[in-house]
Amino acid sequence: MFKQVALDYNFSDLEPFIDALTMETHYTKHHSAYTNNLNAALEKVPEFSNLGIEELLTKLDTVGDEAVSQTIRNNGGGFYNHNLYFTTMKPGGSKEPFGDLAAKITETFGGYDALKEKLTALSIQRFGSGWAWLSANKAGDLKVSSSPNQDNPVFETKGEWTPILGIDVWEHAYYLKYKNLRGDYVKAFYEVLNWDEIAKNYTAVKE
Ligand code: MN
């Protein structure tokens, strides 16, 4: 059974950048539904139910039932992506990258401002629903990308790349407060990022 990550902050704590009703709806309705639907789908393919979520997402082409595979792709992706999303947001914490991650960001993209520009552009250019990502590989390299729907780099690269930061650009992530202004939401999202957590993710991916 997969469980939503527990939040160590309140839904209202990200105000005024991310509003409390969006946070509550996002976590208790959307993320909860992805998690429940994933667990329900796994009951149909119990031989896959003991895998970790990342391994599961890399093995979807071996799930014989195509409808079940698609359900796990959508909802397993939704489960995984939102666990990442909610744990990298937090009031307080480091406001900017630091240490070896900051150095790698500068080496790869030219600096934090340049990285934000690239992620913002990917977020705005994503047509319809999806995500923008900062990902790492075992060598410690970084790259940015975007995915449709609830896909992610783990699924797309069969685990070669792991996201360490994800920007949810589904309308449910911002529409109550920002309406059609996705770029304004993305700009606000950077204000509630906790780079301590993103640095931990980077360290965990690197070998
Ligand atoms: Mn979402």
CATH number of the domain to which 64 belongs: 1.10.287.990
- On whether residue 14 sits in a domain, the answer given is no
What's the total number of domains in the chain?
Answer: 2
Q: Is residue 92 pLDDT above 90, yes or no?
A: no
CB atoms within 10 A of CB 203: 14
Nearest to 134 by CA among 161, 107, 106, 169: 161
Kindly give, in sequence order, each residue whose CB lies less than 8 Å from that of residue 147, ignoring residues fewer than 6 positions away.
130, 131, 133, 153, 155, 156
User: Do 176 and 80 have their domain in common?
Assistant: no
Q: How far is CA 80 from CA 95, 97, 110, 145, 185, in A?
A: 24, 23, 29, 17, 21
pLDDT of residue 158: 97
Based on the domain organization, do 118 and 171 belong to the same domain? yes
In this prediction, residue 185 has a pLDDT band, given cuts at 50, 70 and 90, of very high
Tell me: do 131 and 79 sit in the same domain. Answer: no
| Structural element, H or E, at residue 54 | helix 53-58
Residue-averaged pLDDT of the chain? 97
What's the CATH number where 107 sits? 3.55.40.20
Mark whether 169 and 123 lie in a shared domain.
Answer: yes
Local confidence band at 132 (pLDDT 50, 70, 90 cut-offs): very high
| Domain presence at residue 134 | yes
Q: Is 199 part of a structural domain of the chain?
A: yes
Is 42 a member of any domain? Answer: yes
Residues 110 and 199 placed together within one structural domain of the fold: yes
Give me the mean pLDDT over the 159-180 stretch: 98
Structure confidence by residue, pLDDT tens digits, 38-91: 999 999 999 999 999 999 999 999 999 999 999 999 999 999 999 999 999 998
Domain enclosing residue 179, as ranges:
99-206
State in Å: Cα 168 to ligand 1 middle.
6
Residues 30 and 77 both lie in one domain: yes
Could you tell me how many residues make up the chain? 207
- Domain co-membership, 28 together with 72: yes
Phi, psi (rounded to 5 degrees) for 76: -65, -40
**Residue 133 in domain:** yes
Q: What is the pLDDT of residue 91?
A: 85
Burial environment of residue 36 by CB neighbours within 10 A (0 to 12, 13 to 18, 19 or more): middle
Last-in-domain residue among 87, 118, 141: 87
Distance CA 33, CA 71 (A): 12
Residues 112 and 189 in one domain: yes
**Alpha-carbon distances of 161 from 17, 48, 146, 153, rounded to whole Å:** 29, 22, 13, 6
Q: Are residues 137 and 77 in the same domain?
A: no
Q: Are residues 119 and 78 in the same domain?
A: no
Tell me what pLDDT residue 53 has: 98
| Residue 81 CA, ligand 1 centroid: distance in Å | 8
pTM of the model: 0.97
Residues near ion ligand 1 (Cβ under 5 Å): 168, 170, 173
CA 86 to centroid of ligand 1, rounded, Å: 10
In this structure, what token pair is assigned to residue 119?
Answer: 């992620």
Query: For residue 11, is pLDDT > 90?
Result: yes
Rounded distance from Cα 16 to ligand 1 centre (Å): 18
**36 to 30, 72, 116, 117, 153: CA distances (angstroms):** 10, 11, 33, 35, 22
Given 35, 52, 87, which residue is the final one in a domain?
87
Q: How far is CA 155 from CA 18, 97, 142, in A?
A: 28, 26, 17
**Mean pLDDT (whole number) for 8-31:** 97
Same domain as 107, residue 30: no
CA of 110 to the centre of ligand 1 (A): 29
